[in-house]
Amino acid sequence: MGRARWYITTPIYYPSDNLHIGHAYTTVAADAFARYHRLRGEAVWFVTGTDEHGQKIARQAAQRGQTPAAMVEEIVAGIRSLWATLGISYDDFIRTTEPRHARVVQAVFQRLMDQGDIYRGEYEGWYCVPDETFWPESKLVEGRCPDCGRPVERVREDSYFLRLSRYADRLLAYYAEHPDFVQPASRLHEMESFVRAGLEDLSVSRKGLSWGIPVPGDPEHTIYVWFDALLNYLTAAGYLADEERLAATWPPDVQLVGKEIVRFHAVIWPIILMALDLPLPKRVFGHGWLLLGDTKMSKSRGNVVDPVELVRKYGLDPVRYYLLREVPFGADGSYTEEALVLRTNVDLANDLGNLLHRTVAMIGRFNGGLVPPYRPGVEAPSLRQACAEAVREVEAAMEQLEVSRAMIAIGQLVRAANKYIEERQPWNLYREPQDRELLDDVLYNLAETLRILSVLLTPFLVETPERIRRQLGIREPVRHWEETAWGRTLAGTPVEPGPPLFPRREWNPEPEPAPTTPVEPAEPAAPPRISIQDFSRIDLRVGRVEAAEVVPGADRLLKLRIDLGGEVRTVVSGIRSHYGPDDLVGRHVVVVANLEPARIRGIVSEGMILAASDDGRLTLVGPWDAIPPGARVR
């Protein structure tokens, strides 16, 4: 070994539920960078995985009536299959429950204790379980988690602390000397102010939480899930297991993370590495969020889109293309299915698909199906220049981790080639015998541009490059980025007309779903018998109505805010003819908590409340005695 490896990581995902396209977004982008560097002939080490310990996972498992181990097994299998569906070319999949990782975590914890970087004390403050984050009282916003706005829990327990304070100055100096360490630059500035405001030592253990890695020598304490999770990047590089592999791999070249977890990767993570005397990652890149409407897509908000479903409906490459192209990498952007269809139809079916179709058809009609010879100098080199520019632009964009910019450059080349056809009008050249050489040249230029496009697209799309090449009569797969150089298409190659690259998609927005609580108290026929397992798939919870308001323009609907214990949900309900907003606030209701969210009058309704109805009468159903919101109904 010994050969340096280009090391890229994604965050490791919580296997508390199936992943959605927000997670796919990070992973597909990382995959594109990994494929790009591989194509350039570098040895790449691309790591993703799962963050399996902690209170969030333990609670989720309890709610599902499973052990944490059984739950993560099931969900991790789903995640692996999702990555296979999306063509993710990772080299290592790390799970924090693996023995190779527990060894590293305990050894690091021990070393930091021995050095005095970790000490024992008592933690008193607040904890946000969904974010797995400690918060001092002073940081809470209206008593809630300042990051996600969800309720926090009071914690007072013996705890081990990591001495962040000891490293604050070194960290600030590091930021100043390495302005590329955290990107985009705005995120580095945020981190600087955060550190300047003062770093409190960080609690790095939890007491009485068995789902985690025990503190060495003190098994009542479990190592804090973020301390455990961050070290995955070291484990996957061979730390404490394979010196040679580590030397070739460390430090990471790029660590992609969502913007809300930049803080962990730009403050806690480098401090752990400083304490271990290890070089810091070269770049931590904080990308933006995929939003649905104007809120972050997330399972706990119930507004998620399933990537498997999208791939089934639209195909793999359109979904990858959309994720990589649509939103400037780094910024937030809204997901809409309409935009996905539009991208597929315009960029892929129209622009790219037509370019291939027309080129292959013209070579068929005007040159007997064989790529004509190229005679430099006959034709102005405009397309050749456009290719060279696109290659340079993609290289620069990928170097700066601007994957969407790379896609834009490729799109421009496609459009330039289509324009070239319009300008040269090969069908007219064909009619004039004296234009024969020019025609050959035009056709060659088009075939060659498509060949170069097949190379340019290789890091991003999985199936399309080969499909383009097959029609161009090229048998070999793309092997190296150097094949973007002009002039490799061989004269005399027989083209092979094939089906359209991308079928055009219809865009039929689905009709607005009916309100989730019965508007008309219809009398259903008795449903068939179900098993207790069937019944247990319905997550019924007690909820407390926090707020209620009329939905403008919809005289049967109320918009409710319902506290479910850990979170507050929006539910739109068709009960206005029976209840006014004031009747409801403070009342306890029963909520179907795992119902697919539905958009009603533009509002995402994240559940349904239960009501009994008979002959035009309707009454809400609730608990008989006081019980806290979130209690399970079964």
Site for ligand MSP, residues 357 to 376, rule: CB under 6 A: none
Would you list the DSSP string of 82-119? HHHHTT---SEEEETTSHHHHHHHHHHHHHHHHTTSEE
Beta bridge partners of 93: 48
Task: Please identify the residue of the shown chain whose CB is closest to the bound ligand MSP.
Answer: 258
Q: Which tokens hold the place of 28?
A: 């597909």
Q: Is the dihedral of CA 66, 594, 155, 205 positive or negative?
A: positive
Instruction: Between 26 and 517, name the residue whose CB sits nearer to ligand MSP.
Output: 26
Site for ligand MSP, residues 472 to 501, rule: CB under 6 A: none
Q: Establish if 187 lies at the interface with ligand MSP (CB under 6 A).
A: no
Instruction: Between 16 and 464, name the residue whose CB sits nearer to ligand MSP.
Output: 16
Q: Binding segment for ligand MSP among 296-304, 360-368, 540-548, 626-634 (CB under 6 A)? A: 296-304
Site for ligand MSP, residues 216 to 235, rule: CB under 6 A: 229-230, 232
Q: Establish if 290 lies at the interface with ligand MSP (CB under 6 A).
A: yes
Site for ligand MSP, residues 32 to 51, rule: CB under 6 A: 51
**Cβ proximity of 568 and 548 under 8 Å:** no
Question: How many positions of this chain bind ligand MSP (CB under 6 A)?
Answer: 21
Give the contact letters, 143-182, x = binds to ligand MSP (CB under 6 A), - = no: ----------------------------------------
Residue with tokens 């404490």: 240
Cα 425 from Cα 434, distance rounded (Å): 15
Residue from 8, 44, 102, 261 binding ligand MSP (CB under 6 A): 261
Instruction: Between 232 and 573, name the residue whose CB sits nearer to ligand MSP.
Output: 232
Q: Binding segment for ligand MSP among 18-26, 161-169, 270-278, 446-454 (CB under 6 A)? A: 18-26
Instruction: Between 305 and 388, name the residue whose CB sits nearer to ligand MSP.
Output: 305
Residue 113 Cβ, how far from ligand MSP at the closest point, in Å?
A: 21
Q: Which tokens hold the place of 200?
A: 């409190």
Q: Establish if 26 lies at the interface with ligand MSP (CB under 6 A).
A: yes
Question: Residue 373: is the preceding peptide bond cis (ω within 30°)?
Answer: no
- Coil, strand or helix at 68: helix
**Cβ proximity of 431 and 358 under 8 Å:** no
Q: Establish if 629 lies at the interface with ligand MSP (CB under 6 A).
A: no
Q: Establish if 299 lies at the interface with ligand MSP (CB under 6 A).
A: no
Residue from 7, 25, 36, 126 binding ligand MSP (CB under 6 A): 25
Residue from 238, 258, 318, 465 binding ligand MSP (CB under 6 A): 258
Q: Establish if 327 lies at the interface with ligand MSP (CB under 6 A).
A: no
Q: Establish if 80 lies at the interface with ligand MSP (CB under 6 A).
A: no
Provide the Cα torsion 445, 449, 452, 453; round to 10°: -170
Residue from 126, 181, 289, 314 binding ligand MSP (CB under 6 A): 289
Q: Establish if 257 lies at the interface with ligand MSP (CB under 6 A).
A: yes
Q: Binding segment for ligand MSP among 60-68, 255-263, 311-319, 469-477 (CB under 6 A)? A: 255-263
Q: Establish if 296 lies at the interface with ligand MSP (CB under 6 A).
A: yes
Per-residue exposure over 35-45, b if at least 16 CB sit within 10 Å of its own CB, e if not: bbbbbeebebb
Question: What letter does residue 141 receive in the DSSP assignment?
Answer: B
> Which long-range contacts link 487-493 to residues 24+ away (Cβ below 8 Å)?
487/374, 487/448, 488/448, 488/451, 489/371, 489/374, 489/444, 489/447, 489/448, 489/451, 490/371, 491/370, 491/371, 491/372, 491/373, 491/374, 491/444, 492/370, 492/371, 492/373, 493/370, 493/371, 493/447
Exposed, middle or buried by CB within 10 Å (0-12, 13-18, 19+), for 400?
middle
Q: Establish if 12 lies at the interface with ligand MSP (CB under 6 A).
A: yes
Cα 381 from Cα 103, distance rounded (Å): 60
Residue from 23, 221, 505, 578 binding ligand MSP (CB under 6 A): 23
Where residue 177 falls (left for φ over 0; alpha for ψ -120 to 50; beta otherwise) is alpha
Instruction: Between 199 and 230, name the residue whose CB sits nearer to ligand MSP.
Output: 230
Residue of 383, 396, 510, 498 whose CA lies nearest to 450: 383
Q: Which tokens hold the place of 271?
A: 């401090």
Residue from 260, 466, 496, 546 binding ligand MSP (CB under 6 A): 260
Instruction: Between 57 and 348, name the residue whose CB sits nearer to ligand MSP.
Output: 57
Residue from 6, 7, 14, 321 binding ligand MSP (CB under 6 A): 14
Would you list the DSSP string of 491-526? TTPBP---S-SS------PPPPPPPSS-SS---PPP
Residue from 28, 234, 297, 447 binding ligand MSP (CB under 6 A): 297
Instruction: Between 258 and 353, name the residue whose CB sits nearer to ligand MSP.
Output: 258
Residue ranges binding ligand MSP (CB under 6 A):
11-14, 22-23, 25-26, 51, 229-230, 232, 257-258, 260-261, 289-290, 296-298
